[in-house]
Amino acid sequence: MDYLLTEEQKMARDMARRFADNELKPIADRLDREHTHSPEVLQQLGEMGIMGVAVPEEYGGGGMDYVSYSLIVTEISRACGGTGTIVAAHNSLYCYPVLKFGTEEQKQKFLQPCASGRSVGCYALTEADAGSDPAALRTTARLDGDSWVINGEKKFISNGNISDYCVFAAVTDKAKGYKGISQFVCDLRETPGFKVGRVEEKLGINASGTAELVFEDARVPKDAILGEPGAGLRQMLETLDSGRISIASQALGIGRAVLEESIEYAKTRVQFGKPIAEFQAIQWKLADMATQLDAAALLIWRAAWLEDHDMRFEMEAAMAKMYASDAAMHAALEGVQILGGYGYVRDYPMERHFRDVKITQIYEGTNEIQRLVIARNILGKRG
């Protein structure tokens, strides 16, 4: 499908692919086993412009488009799903809202260090009782002189354990419901009353940390708010729309790793005197996996193209995220089946892919929520 890409997009993809194959893939199993990330890898990614792919160069980013970003996330995730999570959350959930909604001063202070790769950012929305329903947010922000006083706990925050910077959502006016939610950006190191809570033990994406963020009478400056008070929900939804393209890309990358390893195994595993790749039952599994993953790629590129051209892409991003994650999950199920017993043991990376891919059906909006978004659009209820 290369003919659909520009030369610049191909160069971005190939750059990420070489790095993923040569530097990241050889250490992916160790990162998963040790439940850790590689600071050296993140530094190298920063130097390549990958920690700020779509951020203009004037703010330290790579100055690339969103199609290139999707290609890069796919390649990184093909080598290591957990590192793909770090890159996706940092770019889509932190850099994006600061670039899109921040003032010039905020961009200089909070975007440049992260887009250049010197620091990592995170996005704190989810709470114990607020996932798909942002109206259930309990974290509050109360203006007190020149500061906002923040109280609340955020759950399941990707990069939360390694981030210096954070965009977070809080209720500034409870009486206004959805219209009383605002977003803030801060340097966590300069936020008294903040601490990192529990770091979760997870099924997969173990190369990325998922943490609880605790604000206890924490104080951020009055000018930490992104945009106007009460604009948080609109900002949040737009951020998540963009982020869903990156999660679709992550799922696609893991799915392609599954397909590549399934093909390699099927060609070399001999049963009944011939490679299992010659059996129709295996061929059909591989054919379905390849077709579904290619279809996912086209949905992702369409959504990213629309974003690049400042066109509405809410439904298209939801379709891409839903379909790509379902396709990749199906591929992982079949990949384990093709490898049989070897697909179930840690000597082969297939079981890691199986564990890593599941989260793509859940975070940044479950696939049930994506179906609601799609239905709302096709029934003419677009907001």
Catalytic residue annotation: 364
User: Per the structure block, which two tokens stand in for 264?
Assistant: 């390699």
Cα–Cα dist 186/163, whole Å? 11
Report d(CA 15, CA 33) in Å as an integer: 27
Nearest partner of 106 among 207, 10, 221, judged by Cα: 221
Q: How big is the CA angle at 368 (ends 362 and 370), to the nearest 5 degrees? A: 85
**Could you tell me if 296 and 367 are in contact, meaning their C-beta atoms sit under 8 angstroms apart?**
no
- For residue 168, what are its two tokens? 């977070």
**How many Å apart are CA 383 and CA 104, to the nearest integer?**
29
22 Cβ contact list (under 8 Å, min separation 6): none
> Which string of DSSP letters, residue by residue, matches 118-174?
SS-EEEE--BTTBSS-GGG---EEEEETTEEEEEEEEEEEETTTT-SEEEEEEES-G
C-alpha to C-alpha distance for 166 and 187, rounded to whole angstroms: 7
Residues 27 and 38: their CA atoms lie apart, in Å, by: 9
- Report the SS3 class of residue 187: strand
Q: Alpha-carbon distance 326 to 251, whole Å?
A: 8
Tokens of 27: 């250490």
HSE, CB side, 13 Å, CA atoms: give it for residue 56.
8
Q: What is the dihedral of CA 51, 53, 55, 59, to 10 degrees?
A: 50
Torsion angles phi and psi, residue 186, rounded to 5: -150, 160
- Tokens for 55, please give them: 């951020």
